[in-house]
Structure 1
Amino acid sequence: MTLSDSGPATESSTLALDDGDIYLCQDGPRDAPALLLIHGSASSARSWDPLVPLLTGSHHVIRIDLLGHGLSGKPSDSSYAIPDQARRIGMALDRLGVEHAIVAGHSSGGYSATALAEQRPDLVTALALINTGPSLNAFIAPTSAAIDPAQWPPTDEQLREFASTGFSRVGYQIPQELLDEVRAMTYHTLIATMQGSTGYLEQRSLPDRLTVLGKPLLVIFGEDDRRWRSSSAADYRAVPGAKVELLPGLGHSPLLEDPPRTAALLLAFTASHAVRAD
């Protein structure tokens, strides 16, 4: 399997921020409602590639590589804490002139999405979280051995084992492009970004944070997630008005495993909450 490269040309750019360069790409009409897509740990904006063509008919789709990932900078002396990742996202959207956006995050990308809404409630109109663990209690500890820093960069075989729990079934052919994106990280940025997510959840669970925010919320969860207990999706029902959708037969990465089903849920949600650009 390879990631889709169909559809209109993607406009990409790199923004120089005070603590690192941030890569982003844009698709769809610029005057359409903005939809920001944030990837998870050890991933990149490319993880959304199969989904983007299904969203651009009605949205200005923006994807970003968080610092330490993809084509963004990988400095060893910058903070990879979730609030700092969110701050950079807000600065990037300001540079683009985006005043309102629905923000969707996959996995730990949901933490950056939530932190952005905490920092910039005027900017974020609604949130969609895809297989984002609500608290550390929901985490399923991996059974495979951790990657040895002495063996960095890892082989394809090591990467496939490392990433295997990101999908519902054993033997799923993980796109080579995504393996290459992990290998392009440094060991420091891999560990630091994961620690940033853990630290964010240790401070406060996502349902508690989201209840205070009062933003429209969609939660999508593959029922066969092998990283987070799918039953924990029910924790989000504590957030007033939250809509929770469980997807049978899908695992941690519905955006890759079944793009049409994932896009349909996103589009139904955004249709009610999108704000068109002036």
Structure 2
Amino acid sequence: MKDTMRGEKQRAAGWFYELRDTIVAEFERLEDSHQSGPLSDTDAGRFEVTETQRASSDGSDAGGGLMSVMRGGRVFEKVGVNVSTVYGTLGARAQEAMAARKGLPGMKEDPRFWASGISLVAHMQNPHVPAVHMNTRMFWTPHGWWFGGGSDLNPAIEYDADTEHFHHQQKVHLDRHGQLYYPKFKAWADEYFYIPHRHRARGVGGIFMDDHCTGDWEEDFSLTQDIGRAFLPAFVPLVEKRRVQDWNETDKEAQLVHRGLYAEYNLVYDRGTKFGLETGHDANAVLMSLPPLAKWI
């Protein structure tokens, strides 16, 4: 079957890499500009970049990407910004899950897939600065295509003003595409980022979408781009405001316990973690989201 969306896939993958470059540069700027407050007298952090490869069962080219991780900086204790473009055929288990979830019975006869996206998780040095997650992606099969993504804020110490700012920026960017998207995607995030065994959300929410396909690729791609564009104006002002605050042992304890909650969610419920491991992507890249240190009561 001829791939009639090669150009669209190239555009989407290229944009995810551009977004990665913009975010990496901004995060290193934050490290350099932290000139006062806790840890300002330490070395500014820098990203270490590693190429990743997806393993295929027959040894053929299955794509890969870039894993960019900064550890032990002035502002970021651990932050990863990963991009990848992977392709090949889905295994039997993934085919069954895709057919059931997407309503694509043809996956068994033609299980080819292509996926590209960016995934970011930041764990901060200062407990007053919230952790954050963001991703956007495009998925293609011969039977259909769709976009997904979103971002959510995960503070250990909550500030109502920070939550309001983060959500406001999501709304501003989504409202460009219609007034219904923000309330829909906010509610979706509240449901998706919920931890049933703890009976609570993992953070203060954000936006989330999956399986998004209106049939208008250009508009759906534009919406996905604005989800990515919302991230820096939503998050960076919070970093700049909170990174100068002093913290104590109680604050750090709260941060470590909250990280334990975050790790539980990513290992038990997160779809991206499950998909990455089941389809043979680099395990270090898939598990990049885990915090460097965490604690359980």
TM-score under structure 2 length normalisation:
0.30
Larger RCO of the pair (alpha carbons < 8 Å, separation 6+): 1
Computing the radius of gyration over CA atoms, which structure comes out larger, 1 or 2?
Answer: 2
More strand by share: 2
TM-score under structure 1 length normalisation:
0.31
More helix by share: 2
